[in-house]
């Protein structure tokens, strides 16, 4: 096709844009291969999350597409998390009938009832999930904010694919006092109302990556065929004569199975409405009655669709030249940023009814980098609520969260990353009534006060931090207790946390604090060992010298191979997570952490020997696959070329990872989605803007679409990016020149006013790297001046 022809074609279809973003949401992305994504029905930030649970060893999000068996249909989940499986409380399980028409002819325990489902029956779309089990029973579900609605449809026995499973047209539905992780504690209870069939009760479970425990309450109501009989079950035996059960955990490794059941007169579809609360069963009932008064699945589903469409609509992209696969990758990524965290306002015992409570911050180490910054653009007021929620966690539990789920404190992975999130929002959001003074006080507490248990809040080693200006390996700390590892990554993260605090000090005019935290934000330099070399596993010298190294209390150097815990670490016995004997870098290597100085790239570039050396090293990090894009520390490294005056290389690198490592398929994610962190990486990258979170900076690369429009929820203004000379084959991904609101623009970054003021950025693309955005004056802000360019 000639050039003239393609321009004519473009002009012809140039106005094509996404009409309904929901058609590009595929909830099954990340449902296999460890993505751990929640694939079911929910509202944005909803507490009710209904899906089929499987017995996969990777069922953290409930459902998986890895040929595992269905064990039940439960109503609470997290999405994309690692750790133990989360939630999955109070599974339902339906039978078309019981063998010999006796109650004990139905199989109650979870282990024994696991059953395959028919792949071809699977349907998942915003606010909806449905599948058919091998028994022929179909389960379709949708949700309101705290209530799920399930519709079970039964085959007539003769028509069932495996008619030997049941032998009567008298369906049974059981409710199991269980959760995904089998973590139930003493004492769970359930009561069944003989007349109305209503089941109420509660149980106490363990959080999946944290300390303490939590209780949840439910209220299940049935609609459809008349109830024939009901009762409770314990282990594999059931009775219609007993209506109340208090059950112990049991002494074996799994809690003793127990729960309730209801049997129905005929095989008309049964609708089960499941209300949920962290407060009481009474509240679960009243919420369910008000949220879904009429048991209407279609109406509840339609309301969910409307809500999702409204949430996703502020971002509109041109469809010119791009295939569905790209659009699906993009909008599904955006969708996943709004599944977690969850809004538990008004339904928990920790704060009074109208005080905001957000939970499933899982974990902020993951989500500060791009997920929450993404929502700041797309759903500003939700981020306002999330920050208010974090401040209530501070108010009622003493500290800002770092990881938090199911009302419990979660394990801190490195620094106190709520500080970064608060700074990011402080710089970008000016439409809120957030109490910034309290936010500042909370962040300063992270920096100044060591908690007794810094497993799950704040920071450890603060005495050493304040006297030595780094976190020592094998620290002596008698004031607070936590896992004494990660001394390098904690030093780097605390340095950046302090920089973020200084950003807030600056805005609040606390001049002394600002100077102080800017000073402590340079502490990363104290672990830099200029003569440290690095060898590949086969003994070849990488040729790079100068890496962070562990340092002891007596200020002598320790040693960690810079490639230890990297993606190419060949040692299967390397221990890289939160174990007591893990590395001095968390879930990553010194090589990768070397680049984690988000606030002072100029100084880092000088430290690495100037921009050419910096770029060479960054290329090596990616080309040798030392970094792993499936974990969050890799995100910013894709775009850090901008700081060395090579924005073209960021664009190139972004296309090397997307779609290669992020396919819109069930197994397409490179690791856990981490509450939508991976989704936000895809969304930001394809949008052509990537944040340096904690700073008012977005690094500019060409969007993956001919044009994008983004409506700011705060001001209603529409920001626009247009690629002039767009090429859907992505050969022309290099910015030759740009204009911002019609004026020539050479900076390789923009700030948040781009969105709130609805500016227009025109990017003129070409096939080769240009001089655009390469001069020192074009580079993003850095604490130290750029030198050596
Ligand atoms: C799931 O259940 C099936 C049927 O009991 C069983 O064969 C399979 O091993 C289970 N899978 C796992 C991972 O436990
Ligand atoms: C069902 O689908 C999954 C993934 O979508 C696939 O791995 C599996 O092989 C399929 N199973 C069957 C029986 O077709
Ligand atoms: C069903 O009835 C048959 C015949 O009486 C008996 O052999 C079988 O054990 C019964 N099964 C159950 C689960 O009760
Ligand atoms: C029921 O029938 C199916 C298909 O014929 C068979 O695979 C299965 O083993 C049978 N189950 C029982 C419990 O007899
Ligand atoms: C569970 O209930 C039993 C019986 O009422 C009681 O003795 C026990 O203390 C309870 N356990 C807990 C942890 O509440
Ligand atoms: C079961 O537990 C509930 C809630 O803790 C309690 O109110 C009730 O009295 C207990 N019932 C029995 C039979 O112990
Ligand atoms: C962006 O908005 C402009 C002005 O309303 C409109 O002409 C254009 O079609 C929109 N583009 C997209 C991709 O929605
Ligand atoms: C959270 O829930 C509360 C109470 O229902 C509601 O007022 C608030 O708007 C919700 N926030 C978000 C971001 O959904
Ligand atoms: C060691 O590995 C590197 C990277 O794979 C390779 O370039 C080099 O040739 C290897 N050296 C030896 C001696 O095998
Ligand atoms: C410094 O501390 C390390 C770790 O405890 C120890 O191995 C080393 O011998 C000490 N060096 C000196 C000079 O005291
Ligand atoms: C969609 O387009 C992208 C970019 O051109 C390409 O990498 C990908 O293979 C295409 N996918 C399909 C399914 O055609
Ligand atoms: C918030 O920022 C926008 C864009 O910079 C500006 O137009 C608006 O006036 C500001 N609003 C407040 C309340 O400061």
pLDDT in tens, 303-323: 999 999 999 999 999 999 999
Instruction: For residue range 105-160, list pLDDT tens digits in order.
Output: 999 999 999 999 999 999 999 999 999 999 999 999 999 999 999 999 998 765 55
pLDDT for the residue 12: 43
- For residue 767, count other CB atoms closer than 10 A to its CB: 11
Ligand 6: residues whose CB is within 6 Å? 189, 244, 246
Q: How far is the CA of 246 from the centre of ligand 6 (A)?
A: 6
CA distance linking residue 16 with residue 736, whole number of Å: 25
Percent of the chain past pLDDT 90, that is, above it, reads 94
* CATH 1.20.1610.10 segments of the chain: 334-348+355-700
Q: Which CATH number fits domain 22-310: 3.60.15.10, 3.30.70.580, 2.70.98.10, 3.40.50.300?
A: 2.70.98.10
pLDDT for the residue 484: 94
For the CA of 28, the nearest ligand: 2
Answer whether residue 5 shows pLDDT above 50: no
Q: Regarding predicted confidence, which is higher, 161 or 227?
A: 227
Segment 255-274 shows an average pLDDT of 96
Based on DSSP, count helices (H) and strands (E) in the chain, helices before strands: 20, 32
What are φ and ψ of residue 428, in 5° steps?
-105, -30
Architecture of domain 334-348+355-700: Up-down Bundle (1.20)
CA distance linking residue 116 with residue 112, whole number of Å: 12
Name the residue of 551, 554, 558, 559 to mutate for ligand 10: max ligand atoms within 8 A of Cβ. 554
Percent of the chain past pLDDT 70, that is, above it, reads 97
Lookup: tokens for 144? 């309101």
Q: How far is the CA of 537 from the centre of ligand 9 (A)?
A: 9
Segment 533-538 shows an average pLDDT of 97
pLDDT for the residue 252: 78
Q: How far is the CA of 135 from the centre of ligand 4 (A)?
A: 10
Confidence of residue 7 (pLDDT cuts 50, 70, 90): very low
pLDDT for the residue 250: 83
Q: Which residues contact 160 (CB under 8 A, 6 or more apart)?
A: 96, 135, 136, 166
For ligand 11, atom 7, the nearest C-alpha belongs to 659
pLDDT for the residue 158: 56
Q: How far is the CA of 430 from the centre of ligand 12 (A)?
A: 6
Instruction: For residue range 12-69, list pLDDT tens digits in order.
Output: 445 699 999 999 999 999 999 999 999 999 999 999 999 999 999 999 999 999 999 9
For ligand 4, atom 10, the nearest C-alpha belongs to 164
pLDDT for the residue 531: 98
325 lines ligand 1 (CB under 6 A): no
pLDDT for the residue 156: 76
Q: How far is the CA of 212 from the centre of ligand 5 (A)?
A: 18
Segment 400-419 shows an average pLDDT of 98
Segment 235-240 shows an average pLDDT of 97
How far is CA 63 from its chain centroid?
16
For ligand 6, atom 7, the nearest C-alpha belongs to 189
Answer whether residue 645 shows pLDDT above 70: yes
Please measure the distance between the N-terminal and C-terminal CA atoms of the chain and give it in whole angstroms.
Answer: 42
134 lines ligand 1 (CB under 6 A): no
Instruction: For residue range 262-271, list pLDDT tens digits in order.
Output: 999 999 999 9
Q: How far is the CA of 100 from the centre of ligand 3 (A)?
A: 6
For ligand 10, atom 5, the nearest C-alpha belongs to 552
Q: What is the mean pLDDT of the chain?
A: 95
pLDDT for the residue 162: 52
What are φ and ψ of residue 220, in 5° steps?
-110, 130
Lookup: tokens for 310? 């409204």
pLDDT for the residue 165: 54
Q: Regarding predicted confidence, which is higher, 251 or 291?
A: 291
Q: Which atom of ligand 10 is nearest to the CA of 473?
A: 4
For ligand 9, atom 1, the nearest C-alpha belongs to 538
Nearest to 316 by CA among 15, 633, 754: 15
Ligand 8: residues whose CB is within 6 Å? 45, 343, 345-346, 382, 385
* CATH 2.70.98.10 segments of the chain: 22-310
Nearest to 568 by CA among 550, 598, 594, 591: 591
Segment 463-492 shows an average pLDDT of 97
């Amino acid at each position: 096709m000639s050039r003239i022809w393609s321009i004519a074609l473009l002009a012809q279809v140039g106005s094509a844009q996404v009409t309904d973003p929901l058609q590009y949401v595929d909830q099954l992305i990340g449902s296999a291969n460890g993505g751990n994504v929640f694939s079911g029905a929910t509202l944005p930030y909803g507490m009710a999350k209904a899906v089929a649970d499987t017995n996969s060893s990777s069922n953290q999000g409930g459902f998986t597409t890895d040929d595992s068996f269905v064990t039940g249909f439960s109503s609470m989940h997290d999405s994309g998390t690692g750790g133990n499986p989360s939630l999955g409380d109070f599974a339902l399980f339906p039978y078309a009938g019981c063998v010999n028409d006796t109650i004990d002819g139905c199989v109650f325990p979870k282990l024994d009832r696991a059953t395959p489902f028919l792949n071809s029956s699977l349907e998942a779309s915003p606010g909806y999930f449905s599948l058919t089990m091998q028994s022929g029973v179909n389960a379709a579900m949708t949700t309101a904010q705290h209530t799920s609605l399930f519709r079970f449809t039964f085959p007539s026995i003769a028509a069932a694919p495996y008619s030997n499973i049941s032998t009567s047209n008298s369906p049974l539905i059981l409710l199991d006092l269980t959760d995904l992780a089998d973590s139930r504690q003493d004492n769970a209870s359930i009561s069944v109302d003989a007349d109305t069939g209503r089941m109420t009760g509660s149980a106490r479970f363990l959080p999946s990556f944290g300390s303490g425990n939590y209780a949840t309450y439910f209220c299940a109501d049935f609609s459809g065929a008349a109830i024939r009989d009901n009762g409770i079950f314990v282990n594999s035996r059931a009775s219609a004569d007993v209506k109340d059960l208090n059950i112990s955990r049991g002494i074996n490794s799994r809690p003793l199975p127990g729960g309730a059941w209801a049997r129905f007169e005929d095989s008309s579809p049964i609708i089960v409405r499941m209300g949920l609360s962290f407060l009481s069963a009474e509240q679960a009932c009243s919420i369910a009655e008000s949220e879904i008064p009429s048991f209407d699945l279609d109406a509840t589903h339609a309301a969910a669709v409307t809500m999702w469409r409204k949430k996703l609509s502020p971002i509109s992209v041109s469809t010119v030249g791009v295939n569905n696969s790209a659009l699906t990758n993009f909008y599904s990524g955006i969708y996943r940023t709004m599944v977690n965290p969850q809004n538990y306002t008004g339904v928990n015992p920790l704060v009074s009814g109208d005080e905001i409570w957000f939970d499933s911050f899982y974990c902020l180490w993951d989500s500060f980098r791009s997920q929450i910054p993404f929502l700041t653009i797309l759903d500003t007021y939700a981020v306002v609520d999330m920050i208010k929620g974090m401040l209530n966690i501070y108010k009622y539990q003493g500290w800002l969260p770092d990881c938090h789920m199911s009302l419990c404190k979660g394990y801190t992975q490195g620094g106190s990353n709520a500080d970064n999130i608060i700074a990011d929002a402080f710089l970008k959001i000016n439409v809120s009534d957030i109490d910034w003074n309290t936010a500042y006080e909370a962040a300063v507490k992270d920096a100044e006060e060591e908690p007794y248990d810094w497993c799950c809040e704040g920071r450890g080693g603060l005495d050493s931090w304040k006297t030595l200006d780094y976190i020592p390996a094998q620290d002596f700390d008698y004031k607070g207790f936590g896992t004494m590892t990660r001394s390098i990554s904690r030093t780097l993260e605390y340095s950046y946390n302090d920089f973020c605090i200084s950003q807030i000090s600056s805005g609040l005019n606390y001049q002394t604090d600002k100077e102080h935290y800017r000073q402590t934000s340079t502490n990363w330099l104290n672990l830099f060992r200029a003569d440290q070399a690095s060898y590949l596993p086969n003994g070849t010298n990488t040729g790079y010298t100068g890496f962070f190294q562990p340092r002891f209390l007596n200020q002598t150097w320790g040693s960690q191979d810079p490639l230890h815990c990297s993606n190419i670490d060949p040692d299967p016995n390397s221990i890289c997570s939160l174990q007591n004997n893990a590395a001095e870098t968390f879930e990553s290597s010194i090589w990768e952490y070397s680049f984690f100085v988000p606030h002072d790239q100029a100084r880092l570039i000088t430290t690495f020997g100037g921009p050419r050396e910096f770029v060479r090293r960054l290329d090596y990090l990616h080309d040798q696959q030392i970094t792993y894009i499936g974990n969050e520390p890799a995100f910013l490294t894709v775009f850090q070329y901008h700081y060395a005056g090579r924005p073209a290389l960021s664009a190139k690198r972004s296309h090397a990872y997307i779609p290669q490592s992020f396919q819109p398929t069930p197994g397409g994610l490179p690791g856990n989605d981490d509450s939508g962190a991976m989704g936000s990486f895809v969304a930001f990258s394809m949008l052509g803007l990537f944040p340096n979170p904690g700073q008012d900076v977005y690094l500019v690369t060409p969007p993956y679409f001919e044009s994008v429009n983004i409506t700011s929820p705060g001001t209603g203004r529409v920001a626009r990016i247009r690629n002039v000379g767009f090429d859907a084959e992505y050969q022309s991904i290099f910015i030759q020149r740009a204009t911002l609101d019609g004026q020539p623009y050479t900076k390789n970054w923009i700030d948040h006013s781009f969105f709130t003021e609805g500016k227009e950025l025109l990017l003129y693309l070409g096939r080769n790297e240009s001089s655009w955005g390469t001069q020192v004056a074009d580079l993003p802000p850095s604490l130290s001046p750029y030198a050596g360019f």
